[in-house]
Structures are given as structure tokens and as C-alpha cells.
Amino acid sequence: MSLSESGIKAPLWLLAELTYRCPLQCPYCSNPLDFARQQQELTTEQWLTVFRQAREMGSVQLGFSGGEPLVRKDLAELIAGARQLGFYTNLITSGIGLTRQKLDTFADAGLDHIQISFQASDETLNAALAGSEKAFHQKLEMAKAIKAHGYPMVLNFVLHRHNIDQIDRIIELCIQLEADDVELATCQFYGWAQLNREGLLPTREQIASAEAVVKRYREKMQAAGNLTNLLFVTPDYYEERPKGCMGGWGAIFMNVTPDGLALPCHSARQLPIEFPSVLDNSLQHIWYQSFGFNRYRGYDWMPEPCRSCDEKEKDFGGCRCQAFMLTGNADNADPVCSKSEHHGKILQARREADCSEIKVSQLRFRNQKNSKVIFTSQG
């Protein structure tokens, strides 16, 4: 059977998680809890081979992510290689380690787009969340430098119960920095965010009030002719139906980890599935033939209530990783769905958010020490 006959479309978007190394320690990082266990990183040549194979399959967009991709000394070389292959390239960074000189080098290499993340709209909270006193100033400087360079710039703020009430100041900061797009993305609960969920999940009231502020700003900015796009992403913990995670399993997205595992999403490493490595298989084989990528494709794998649900082609039964984290079985419907017999777990999380008193200083930060403690305790 040829690939086109198989009915599986090529992955449009490749995310290259170049490294798990990162100078910051955000307590909502989506990297695996035991990231410190993974010391190996693909070489420049190995990454370029991955990019070439992805492009040959028809991938068009390549994100450089991490950890912090700037810690890779070969980043400019990787960008240039990807660009020469014809990818639209996107750097997803904290801005720590970025310099004006690097921006020049990346521009020469052909980088198309930069997303820079902030933890808060003020220095104190930003420092408490990122674990760095200098981070806020550096991010401000680099956001200005990115704009001065003429890059399209996305500013990304991960929102949670400790910063969502400053959303008006966050938006003001984005306007001041002349962001082209603003992602106000409420924490999704994977990796370290899941570990800290009780201390991060906003209350329903916080979400509603943030939503009203965003709406007000959209109207105000539109009236003033400001074209900045404000994207506000609410947490699915307050929904009654799950998200169609990744646009469907193995449908459009492929993630490659620093050590070369190919995953259908950034979080699948935790699932009890053996995912293939790009060191042992071609990307083409992985995407079309591997067990891991075919495991949740289509609808035949679905048990009830998803199997007979008339919304299954919209949400694909929700998120497999969330189903696994909350129910212990990735085959189950995502408990976000009110039809799931495990939906009570979501209701319980909402109740915990209502009475949580966990302070920022009490969150478990994503760093080598904590990761090692976690994987030692996992055995």
C-alpha cells in the first residue's frame, strides 16, 4: 500500500525540542518531570537529517523549542539548514541568552519568526516564577531588539492563579512592546504544571474576569486601529467538552525530543507506549508505520462513551495524555468531558482551586535538583 493510499496525511508541523537544558525554572514547564534523566542530545548532523526527512514528507513549519533552544551553540546552523530546506522557522524562547548579535546571526540564517515568553508583567513576580532576578529586564530588552530587527513577534504569557489578575497590565506591556500577536494561554496541565496543579489552576471567577478584560481591550484596541491579535486560551478544566488535542493523534504534528524520540505530542513520553527514535528509524517509517503513531489514529480504538459520540470527529475523545494522567488509562475519554465516568476528577480540581492557598514560593520548580529527586523516587 502506498503512503497516499494509506489515507494518512503528512505532518505539517515539526517541533524540535533541541534540549531540556534551561536557565529558568518555571513551575508550569511542560517538559517531563524526569528530564534530568535525559542527558543525550542529537548532534547537529542528526537534527539536520531529521529536518530533511520531515521536509521530504511535506512538513512546512519547524519550531525550535526546548528547554531553552538558545543554549544550543549550533542553533544558527540548524536554522540555516532548516531554512535552506524550505521550512518556515520559528524560535520559541525565554529570551535568556539572546543578544543583538545573535539576532543578526539568526536573521542571516533566515529565521522567520520569534516567540518570547514572559512570566508576569512585573519584575518581582517574574523573578519569583522564573527563578532569575535578571530575567525580566533581559526579556524587555530582547523584545525591543526583536521588534527593532523587524521580526514578527509573539509575546507569550502562561496564565495561572498567581498572574491572571494582572492581565490588564500584561496587555498594556504587550502594547508597549508592540507585539504582533499575544498569547494569553492559561496553563495546560502537563509535566510540571500537572505536578503543581493545585497551586496553579485559577478559579472560575478569575477566568471570567480575565476574559472580560481581554474583551474590553480587544474593543479598545480595535477602535484605536491597533491590529495586535490577543489570543486568550482558557483552561479545559472549566469546559464540558475536551479539546481536539494536537488536531488529532498523528494527524498534523510531530515532536522530536532532545535525545531523538519521536512523539505525537509534547507530553506523550509519559505514556506506557514505546515510541520510536529517529536514531533507529526514518521519520517516514515513524509517522506512517510505527505502533506509537498509529495507536490512537482514527476512531477504531475508541471505547464508549467516545465510540458512539457524535462529537468524536471534532474532539477525537480529547487528550490521551490527560486521560492517562487522570485515569491511569490513555484509552479512556478525556475526563474533561462531562460524559466521562471520570469527570469527577475535573470537578474535584475545580473545588481545590477554590480553596487553594498555595503561594508561589511553595510551588515545585522545574530544575535539575527537583527532577533528580523525582526520578530517584520513581526508581
What is the sign, positive or negative, of the torsion defined by CA atoms of 75, 113, 60, 32? positive
Residues 152-211 that bind ligand FES (CB under 6 A): 190
Binding residues: 22, 26, 29
Nearest approach in angstroms of CB 320 to ligand FES is 4
Work out the angle between the directed axes of helices 167-176 and 204-223 (0-180°, nearest 10): 30
Q: Which is nearer to ligand FES, 173 or 268 (CB)?
A: 268
3-state class of 277 per DSSP? Answer: strand
Number of residues that bind ligand FES (CB under 6 A): 9
**Is residue 302 a contact point for ligand FES (CB under 6 A)?**
no
Q: Which amino acid is at 269?
A: R
Q: Return the range that interacts with ligand FES (CB under 6 A); candidates 130-138, 229-237, 316-324, 362-370.
A: 316-324
CB 14, min distance to ligand FES, A: 16
Nearer to ligand FES, 105 or 270 (CB): 270
Q: Do the beta carbons of residue 200 and residue 352 sit within 8 Å?
A: no
Of the ranges 31-39, 108-116, 151-159, 319-327, which one interacts with ligand FES (CB under 6 A)? 319-327
| Closer residue to ligand FES, CB minimum distance, 112 or 315 | 315
- Write down the least CB distance from residue 246 to ligand FES, Å: 6
In 3D space, the residue among 121, 128, 117, 221 whose CA is nearest the CA of residue 164 turns out to be: 121
Residue closer to ligand FES by CB (options 121, 156) is: 156
Q: Is 321 in the site for ligand FES (CB under 6 A)?
A: yes
**Site stretch for ligand FES (CB under 6 A), options 89-97, 157-165, 317-325, 355-363:** 317-325
Sheet holding 229-233, edge to edge: 229-233, 181-186, 153-159, 113-118, 88-93, 61-65, 13-17, 253-256, 262-263
For the beta carbon of residue 176, count every other beta carbon within 10 angstroms. Answer: 11
With beta carbons less than 8 A apart as the criterion, state whether 37 and 378 touch: no
CB of 322 to ligand FES, least distance (A): 6
Is the distance from CB of 316 to CB of 334 less than 8 angstroms? no
Rule CB under 6 A: is residue 245 a binding residue for ligand FES? Answer: yes
Segment 261 to 280, residues that bind ligand FES, using CB under 6 A = 265, 267-268
CA nearest 143: which of 108, 110, 96, 76? Answer: 96
Supply the minimum distance, in Å, between the C-beta of residue 86 and ligand FES: 28
Is-contact 239 350, C-beta < 8 A?
Answer: no
Which one, of 236, 242, 233, 156, lies nearest residue 189 by Cα? 236
DSSP letters along 121-142, please? SSHHHHHHHHT-SSHHHHHHHH
Cβ proximity of 196 and 171 under 8 Å: no
- Show the binding pattern over residues 120-159: x = contacts ligand FES (CB under 6 A), - = does not: ----------------------------------------
Q: Smallest distance, Å, CB 350 to ligand FES?
A: 20
Q: How far is the CB of 268 from ligand FES (least distance, A)?
A: 5
Q: Which residues bind ligand FES (CB under 6 A)?
A: 190, 245-246, 265, 267-268, 319-321
